[in-house]
């Protein structure tokens, strides 16, 4: 069964460093998402991506974040200069169509980012 | 303000028993409501998606209900199993926001032998 994959599973980085989190969405899906979940807190929307551009983003997704689909399969989240408060689990997700149109959304297993 | 609230925050039940989790939302204009199961340290997995016109939907031992008038939903789990131990998250979509969904805080369910 197709699934969303994410690498690495765990990333440790020093404050101020750049990190790139990678995701491979399900192959026929058109909409891609990044979410984060700080330990013990709820899942938070960061950004959605469609047709090679950001379709929506949250207040959390500021200038230090960027997303890219560098080729036909990968979808990346870059954090330019990490802060301690960026420590969280980051989930990638994908769907065939828009969530408001009740399409299923599939999540990856997550990347645990630890900023020291 | 568009919010999703869930109760109880946590719940412990004996294996084999039933339970019901609650979700209240103030999201408008409403498009659909999803229930997800999230195992510790894993990504959420979809259980059900319900639109305005649906008031009950089942997925195996999981049955979700939706009352769009009172803006309430429930998730009923029948004959619980140890593997049902997880966080159950209610997520709501707005018609005017095609891709951004609003997550509830989740209910942490522990099923004990």
Q: Is A56 close to B99, i.e. CB distance below 8 A? A: yes
Non-local CB neighbours of A2 within 8 Å, separated by 6+ positions: A26, A27, A106
- Using one digit for the tens of pLDDT, what is the confidence trace for B45-88? 999 999 989 999 999 999 999 999 999 999 999 999 999 999 99
Whether residues A44 and B104 touch (CB distance < 8 A) is answered with: no
Q: Which residues from B are below 8 Å from A44, CB to CB?
A: 103
Nearest CA in chain B to A36: B43
pLDDT of residue B100: 85
Report the distance separating Cα A95 and Cα A86, nearest Å: 25
Q: Please, what are the averages of pLDDT over each run of 10 residues along chain A (116 residues)?
A: 93 97 95 95 95 93 94 93 97 95 94 98
pLDDT single digits (tens) B79-89: 999 999 999 99
Interface test with A, best of B10, B42, B43 (most A CBs within 10 A): B43
- Would an 8 Å CB–CB cutoff place B82 in contact with chain A? no
**pLDDT the model gives residue B97:** 77
B104 touches chain A (CB under 8 A): yes
pLDDT given for residue B50 in this prediction: 96
pLDDT one-digit tens code per residue, B19-33:
999 999 998 899 999
Give B2's pLDDT tier (boundaries 50, 70, 90): confident
Q: Largest Cα–Cα distance of chain B, in whole Å?
A: 45
| pLDDT of the residue at A72 | 78
Statement: residue B98 has pLDDT above 80: no
Give the chain B residue whose CA is nearest to the CA of A100: B98
Report which of B71, B67, B70 is spatially closest to residue B55, judged by C-alpha positions. B67
Residue whose structure tokens are 């803006």: B71
Chain A contacts to B (CB-CB under 8 A): 4, 31, 33, 41-45, 48, 50, 55-56, 58, 89, 91, 93, 98-102, 104-110, 112
Is A95:B91 a contact under the CB 8 Å cutoff? no
Work out the number of other CB atoms within 10 angstroms of the CB of residue B12: 12
Q: Is there a cis peptide before residue A47, judged by omega within 30 degrees of 0?
A: no
Q: Do B98 and A104 touch (CB under 8 A)?
A: no
Looking at every residue in chain B, the average pLDDT score rounds to 95
Whether residue A109 contacts residue A48, with contact meaning beta carbons closer than 8 Å, is answered with: no
């Amino acid at each position: 069964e197709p699934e969303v994959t994410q690498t690495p599973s765990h990333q440790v980085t020093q404050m101020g460093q750049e990190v790139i989190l990678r995701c491979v969405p399900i192959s026929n899906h058109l909409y891609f998402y990044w979410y984060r979940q700080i330990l013990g807190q709820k899942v938070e929307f960061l950004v959605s991506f469609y047709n090679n551009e950001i379709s929506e983003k949250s207040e959390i997704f500021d200038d230090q974040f960027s997303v890219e689909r560098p080729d036909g399969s990968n979808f990346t989240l870059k954090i330019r200069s990490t802060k301690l408060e960026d420590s969280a689990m980051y989930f990638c997700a994908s769907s065939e169509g828009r969530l408001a149109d009740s399409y299923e959304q599939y999540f990856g297993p997550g990347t645990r980012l630890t900023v020291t | 303000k568009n919010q999703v609230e869930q109760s109880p925050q946590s719940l412990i039940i004996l294996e084999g028993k039933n339970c019901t989790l609650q979700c209240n939302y103030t999201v408008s204009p409403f498009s659909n409501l999803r229930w997800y199961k999230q195992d510790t340290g894993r990504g959420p997995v979809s259980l059900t998606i319900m639109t305005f016109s649906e008031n009950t939907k089942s997925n195996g031992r999981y049955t979700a209900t939706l009352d769009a008038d009172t803006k309430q939903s429930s998730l009923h789990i029948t004959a619980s199993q140890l593997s049902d131990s997880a966080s159950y998250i209610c997520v709501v979509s707005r018609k005017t926001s095609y891709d951004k969904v609003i997550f509830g805080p989740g209910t942490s369910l522990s099923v004990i032998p």
